[in-house]
Structure 1
């Protein structure tokens, strides 16, 4: 059974679930995992994130902190704005056991887990509702399970959102307008290949370096969800946004395996449930801020809505990328992802 329907309300029901022996757990739990009994051997969890403290992801982290500190003796210290390093550095620190918790996008995770490229295949997930069903499913649980192979424990998927392209050169109304643009991307080979296929000149860099790079003209544009654009004032150095929605980016709430092994069973259960409840809260806030951010963007930038024909042009340009990465990801993973998307779309259409 997947995590769908397992979220418990914070309060009496949550307390009962934590205390009771029959607490609901995620299906990605691994019974072979070394689990500390009795009291936890750590007192403070260092939680690193790339986004600043104005972003909905920070609100989710704060909710996670609130729940964990309420139902355990643990303390959670949050470090926003990549204070401890960008997503890739945070993942490496988690594997080494020098960091406890982080919430990277799935793109940087693909550098360590090739199957995670599946989330960045262009034009696959079609709506937030589809994303919810796909990520809170047996497929989502299996993807979290895969993190255990290299020293991480996956607790839940949160939301970054649909990515849209901005630039300071010209309005992007079709695939032809992308050609020659220098676009900052995440540090992901798939993203590089996708933008190359679209005719752009992609440049990978950490998000905390982006504003300066745009300001200095090192790159012409970038692609991110609305909140990342508005809350980081990218409209000050960008003139046009095009609603490409080319990729839906999840976030993975992950814990160092070394830290996890030092937690008591009770505290492990609290962290799993806190991840789910805080994830629900983060999605709610993110979608509200998403719309608010779009209004800020409209007030400061030219916003282009692509025609269906233009979207088709982008899809056709990136088909080769899907073909290239299917054997890298695993044909079984891609097929399972597509099947889960189709199932979600059918369920939503029937409601």
Structure 2
């Protein structure tokens, strides 16, 4: 009887010793990160999200897993931003322009003709000015990690080429839900209509709007060439994307986990900018091959547009704050001197 009790006790102890290990193995699940974005998986945005996801998985040893959700399946940028603020979604990448209603300083990046090259944009965004703007996000419930490149924006429409300022008169032009874009194109004579990107193709197809403005890569990956005949190279705004995290969620992460995400975001930024710039040239050639009629705005007409937008620039400066505006102009002067 005593022997039987001893055998039972030993068996119980053995079971207790192994149970926590088995339970632990079952309980260890990777931290799931839902990462939303607006374009499709084959776009420059989709490729860069994959680079980010792979870097996170590798650096965390599989303990963190990014679930990439594209094609605006989680809603337009504005909806995802609110989901991040509320803690219902972990991460996203989207336009800085749709953040202006949350953080007014983001309007700085919507300034028409602010930078003249991608290299100028990189130096400005990654430097003290860009980081100062990012630093305003946490108080609004968001954490900004890095800026990606969307690229220089250009006009498309289904009516006629835009070769001069007057060609914009009366064109129903979709713009982002952003006052700077609305004011800019109204000042240029267009009938500016704010719409979420997720509704844009349908609006173009049904002629609810005549045209839109986006970088070449987005025009190609979104197949706007199927519903737009004319592409006018205006380079009127350099448009960045920004990788965001929910502050509610971010604050639950360890310092090591945060570092994994920051490092992965920087790696994805470097990849994305290179990829986007290489693709832009190919995209323009492909859009032409697909039948789009392409014209380039002359320097004289660009200057006319800039002159028309003086009031808009003054409004941006007042909105973001004169200190930030003046610091931006001074930083750009330094960047141009270093060339």
TM-score scaled by structure 1?
0.86
Q: Aligned runs of 1:267-306 on 2, under 5 Å?
A: 267-299=257-289, 300-306=291-297
User: Shift in Å at residue 125 of structure 1?
Assistant: 0.9
CA RMSD of aligned residues (A): 1.3
Asked if 1:69 is matched to 2:73, the reply is no
Moved over 6 A (4+): none
The offset of 1:172, in angstroms, is: 0.4
Bigger-Rg structure (1/2): 2
Structure having the larger proportion of residues in helix:
2
Q: Which residue is 1:27 aligned to?
A: none
The equivalent residue for 2:123 is: 133
Per the TM alignment, residue 338 of structure 1 is displaced from its structure 2 partner at its CA by 1.8
* Preserved contact between residue 164 and residue 246 of structure 1 (Cα < 8 Å): yes
Q: What is the aligned length?
A: 309
Q: CA separation in 1, counterparts of 2:77 and 2:276?
A: 19
2:185 pairs, out of 195, 198, 207, with 195
Q: Which residue matches 2:315?
A: 324
Q: Is the 8 A contact 1:41 1:262 kept in 2?
A: no
Q: Please say if 1:220 is aligned against 2:210.
A: yes
- What is the TM-score of this pair, normalised by structure 2? 0.89
Question: Shift in Å at residue 325 of structure 1?
Answer: 2.4
Partner secondary structure for residue 298 of structure 1? helix
Residue matched to 2:88? 98
Residue 337 of structure 1 pairs with residue 328 of structure 2: yes
Match of 1:59 among 47, 52, 67: 47
Which residue pairs with 2:71 in the alignment?
81
1:42–1:262: 8 Å Cα contact kept in structure 2? no
Residue 182 of structure 1 and its aligned partner are, at CA, apart by 0.5
Q: Where in structure 2 are there 5+ consecutive unaligned residues?
A: 1-27
Does 2:263 align with 1:265?
A: no
Q: Find 1:148's aligned residue among 134, 138, 146.
A: 138
Alignment of 1:156-195 (within 5 A): 156-195=146-185
Q: Which moved more, 1:319-328 or 1:243-252?
A: 319-328
Shift of 1:42: 7.8
Residues 289-323 of structure 1 show CA distances to partners (whole Å, capped at 9, x for unaligned) of: 11111011122211111111010011011111111
**1:253 pairs with 239, 243, 261, which one?**
243
- Structure 1: gaps spanning 5 or more residues: 1-39
CA distance in structure 1 between the partners assigned to 2:198 and 2:86 by the alignment: 23
